[in-house]
Structure 1
Amino acid sequence: MSGIPKDVEIQKQLTELHLEHWVNNVVFHPKWWLLIILLILLWIIWWKTAMRAGLRGICLYAGLMSITALGINEYGEELTLWEYPIDVIPIFPPLSSINLILMILVYSIIYQYFRTGRRFMAASATASAVISFILEPVLSTIGFYHLLRWEYYFSFLLYIIASTVVWHITNKIINIERSVKKV
């Protein structure tokens, strides 16, 4: 016996299979190139629309939303609730999942333009509806995202909750920073 626990050995085999599939079926496929182009375009749009004056808060919100979204995506993939058939990179696929990047960028733009609670909640609910009920089905249709044991309305609720919790945490951190500067 090699001393490697059985679950670790199974994970190693799954990783090898995933890498083999990625090399043979994903990398350089037209959908792979399309995903790269979409990701680059989303980041360019975000950079062009991000207000420079509030960049610290926007980046804090985007960073916290990234951590939250990565956790959600890892949880969803681990429990086989959904999958991403096309990965830009094979080892840590959630980094290049289109709906994850879309979620981070859209909500950080909402954060910068809708600072008050009510306005943010309304914009967040609208964005959650558009992402969940329009963009995710489109991404699913073109093969970037597959629901396995998940429904679009689950995403809708999850996006509203995640964006709102991150909004509260970000504002709390910014308020703490402001109160320290006043002293």
Structure 2
Amino acid sequence: MTKDQLHDLQESHALFEYQLWINESLFTWTWWFLLGMIIIPWIVLIKLIDRKRAPIIWFFGLIVLIISIITDEFGADFGIWIYPTKLIPYSVFELPFDFSIVPVAQMLIFQYFSNWKTFSVALFLQALVFAFIGEPFSIWLDAVAYYGWNFYYSFIFYMLTGTLTRAFVLKWIPKKIIN
């Protein structure tokens, strides 16, 4: 196959993906739900964030966001999950989950629960709700489909992400900045 043929094939595939998105995703009920899930958590966070501690809370959230994106990219690349309804065309990962719902929820937990015991309990509850209620709901909506992944893995992911991120932030950021 020549470079020109490969380029034509890639363009054809991109056009097919775009047309599929226009016909199957854009403006569906699930698409509107995903749009809301990328906007609403940030509005809630902006209203609730502790302005004095905002930089450290944003830093914590950025780390969670990066971990979520990397994990999601691996899962999608290996075919462990797919996103049948996409908010935007050509994306492998799903913006509302990686860029909004997970980081914002964990940022609020980080903000409101300052010691390890209360943080761990709140994180446990968040992981429970996200893994065993939110994800089945997302599957029902056709926002995600799992192939070789289960909700217990997600629960562990949420727990590890929040715990390791908090440990990292507490280790590397001076206490006077955190409090």
TM-score higher than 0.5: yes
1:133 aligns with 2:128: no
CA shift at 1:130, angstroms?
A: 0.9
Q: Percent of counterpart pairs with the same letter? A: 23
CA RMSD of aligned residues (A): 2.5
Q: Which residue of 2 aligns with 1:45?
A: 44
1:157 aligns with 2:156: yes
* Long gaps (5+) in structure 1: 179-183
Structure 1 residues 58 and 2, CA gap change in structure 2 (3 angstroms): same
C-alpha separation in 1, matches of 2:107 and 2:23? 36
* Long gaps (5+) in structure 2: none
CA shift at 1:160, angstroms?
A: 0.6
Q: Which residue of 2 aligns with 1:106?
A: 105
C-alpha separation in 2, matches of 1:116 and 1:45? 23
Question: Runs of 4+ in structure 1 displaced over 3 angstroms?
Answer: 8-17, 97-100
C-alpha separation in 1, matches of 2:81 and 2:91? 15
Secondary structure of the 1:143 match is coil
Structure 1 residues 108 and 26, CA gap change in structure 2 (3 angstroms): same
C-alpha separation in 2, matches of 1:99 and 1:67? 8
- Deviations, residues 95-145 of structure 1 (Å, cap 9, x unaligned): 524366211110110011112222212211111111101111111112212
Q: Which residue of 1 aligns with 2:74?
A: 75
Q: Which residue of 1 aligns with 2:87?
A: 88
C-alpha separation in 2, matches of 1:95 and 1:145? 9
1:65 aligns with 2:83: no
Q: Which residue of 2 aligns with 1:2?
A: 2
Instruction: Tell me the TM-score normalised to structure 1 length.
Output: 0.83
Q: 2:82·2:145 contact (CA, 8 Å) conserved in 1?
A: yes
Residue correspondences, number? 176
C-alpha separation in 2, matches of 1:88 and 1:105? 18
C-alpha separation in 2, matches of 1:164 and 1:12? 43
Structure 1 residues 2 and 25, CA gap change in structure 2 (3 angstroms): same
Which structure's relative contact order is higher, taking Cα pairs within 8 Å and 6+ residues apart? Answer: 2
How is 1:28-43 mapped onto 2 (pairs within 5 angstroms)? 28-43=27-42
Instruction: Tell me the TM-score normalised to structure 2 length.
Output: 0.85
Q: Which shows bigger deviation, 152-161 or 164-173?
A: 164-173
